[in-house]
């Protein structure tokens, strides 16, 4: 990364199973409340996994004009709602602004799967002539970024990252690169996903990566616990407003924190399983630290990928220890997924929001359901209860299918 521009975060937005905005999400996380429940929006009785972190109470008709929301798949609707909150939170004003210096960079991988499923059924029942002319422009992953840029007439850099579970974090890191290189002053960045539908759920079940603890939804996601048996699929959107420091100071913006480092690597190991050594994941963290010029000893907190999969949690623990050495035992590590499940491309976006809130407030949410720690997962995972802990530097990790690894390093803003 060039160091021509410093990058700060000035706005936060989220939509999740724990609420339709950031304050609701944050209070639920601090309270240790799970958003995981039985699937109710389609009949899931035949599936091995019948629970998910699904956003209930989200009504696009109450948020957007009919002509607008009916031409968006759910993943784009969630993203636009979270972006609106983030933009309002940042106090961004667009009148008179140079919109060619404002852009969007989002993570999304699955796209509009619900509309794909519906179109497939329509073809089987009535033939291809009945498929909506808006189908293709609704389902492609870049349409969430389009929806945000269109709504606010943002004419600058626009891109979509489709790297699975790492996409949200990569989108934020890549957006920071755009600002640092001088190609934009403001970037709306994060991740969105809405894939809790039969096709994707069936694929996850066949893959064997998801939990089957259906009788205990709130206890099903248990990162770093000895009895974990797979992740809980989820949906949502997490969006941040990133600005160059000069732009934020000029308009008198409230600054949450500074994004000081970013790293992304590949395992080149397996299309599902992580490299058990955690070495490539460790390299993503090392890259973020090197980018910032910050020693590993400065890190006080890691918001982990922490999926609740048997292999993944061990690999990440090893990665953290590979990077931080003995200092790994002095820091706090928690898993947002213990309460929200795995939101795929949206995970990095929402977990970045959570990491920012932790730096800004001095509070860390707990990792719930950590009743019997795995002996190979021997760090301080903030079990059961929120903790007050002021730290200067925090890492947020996302590690995805295909061995995609991404880490961002954030610094508490002290003015």
Residues designated as active site: 165, 305, 342
**How far apart (Å, rounded) are the C-alpha atoms in residues 8 and 244?**
6
Residue 375, judged by CB atoms within 10 A of its CB (0-12, 13-18, 19+), counts as exposed
**How far apart (Å, rounded) are the C-alpha atoms in residues 150 and 312?**
38
Cα three-residue angle 140-143-146, rounded to 5 degrees: 155
| Pair of tokens at residue 60 | 């696009």
DSSP element (H, E) containing 79:
helix 74-90
What is the DSSP track for 315-359? HHHHHHHHHHGGGGGGSEEE-THHHH-B-GGGHHHHHHHHHHHHH
Which bin fits 406, alpha (ψ -120 to 50), beta or left (φ > 0)?
Answer: beta
Tell me how far apart the terminal alpha carbons of the chain are, to the nearest angstrom. Answer: 23
Give me Rg for the CA atoms of the chain.
20
Q: Which residues pair with 160 in a beta bridge?
A: 106
Residue whose structure tokens are 């947002």:
336
**How far apart (Å, rounded) are the C-alpha atoms in residues 296 and 325?**
9
What is the DSSP track for 147-208? HHHHHHT--S-EEEE--GGGHHHHHHHHHHHHHHTTS-SEEEEEEEE---SHHHHHHHHHHT
**How far apart (Å, rounded) are the C-alpha atoms in residues 393 and 288?**
11
Residues 6+ apart with CB under 8 A from 331: 299, 300, 301, 302, 324, 379, 380, 391
Q: How many residues does the chain have?
A: 415
**How far apart (Å, rounded) are the C-alpha atoms in residues 348 and 75?**
15
């Amino acid at each position: 990364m060039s160091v021509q521009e410093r990058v700060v975060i000035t706005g936060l937005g989220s939509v999740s199973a724990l609420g339709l905005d950031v304050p609701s999400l944050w209070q639920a996380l601090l309270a240790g409340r799970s958003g995981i429940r039985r699937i109710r929006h389609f009949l899931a009785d035949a599936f091995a996994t019948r629970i998910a972190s699904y956003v209930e109470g989200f009504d696009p008709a109450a948020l957007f004009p009919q002509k607008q929301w009916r031409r968006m798949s759910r993943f784009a609707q969630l993203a636009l709602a979270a972006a609106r909150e983030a933009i309002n939170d940042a106090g961004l004003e667009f009148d008179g602004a140079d919109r060619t210096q404002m852009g969007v960079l989002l993570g999304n991988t699955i796209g509009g799967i619900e509309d794909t499923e519906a179109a497939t059924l329509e073809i089987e029942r009535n033939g291809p002539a009945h498929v909506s002319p808006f189908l293709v422009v609704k389902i492609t992953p870049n349409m969430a970024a389009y929806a945000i840029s269109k709504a606010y007439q943002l004419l600058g850099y626009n891109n979509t990252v489709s790297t699975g579970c790492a996409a949200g974090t990569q989108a934020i890191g890549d957006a920071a690169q755009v600002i640092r290189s001088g190609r934009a002053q403001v970037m709306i960045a994060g991740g969105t996903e809405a894939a809790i539908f039969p096709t994707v759920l069936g694929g996850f079940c066949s893959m064997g990566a998801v939990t089957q603890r259906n009788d205990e939804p709130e206890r099903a996601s248990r990162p770093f616990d000895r009895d974990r048996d797979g992740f809980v699929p989820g949906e949502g959107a997490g969006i941040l407003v990133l600005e160059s420091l000069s732009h934020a100071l000029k308009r008198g913006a409230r600054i949450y924190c500074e994004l000081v480092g970013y790293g992304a690597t590949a395992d080149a190991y397996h299309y599902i399983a992580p490299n058990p050594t955690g070495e490539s994941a460790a390299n993503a963290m090392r890259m973020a630290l090197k980018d910032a010029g910050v020693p590993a000893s400065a890190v006080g907190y890691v918001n982990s990928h922490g999926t609740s999969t048997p292999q993944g949690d061990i690999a990440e623990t090893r990665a953290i220890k590979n990077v931080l050495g003995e200092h790994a035992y002095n820091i706090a590590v928690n898993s947002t997924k213990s309460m929200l499940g795995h939101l795929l491309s949206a995970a990095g976006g929402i977990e970045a929001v959570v990491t920012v809130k932790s730096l800004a407030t001095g509070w860390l949410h707990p990792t719930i359901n950590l009743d019997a720690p795995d002996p190979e997962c021997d760090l301080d995972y903030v079990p059961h209860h929120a903790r007050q802990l002021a730290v200067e530097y925090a890492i947020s990790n996302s590690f995805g299918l295909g061995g995609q690894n991404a880490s961002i390093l954030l610094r508490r803003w002290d003015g």
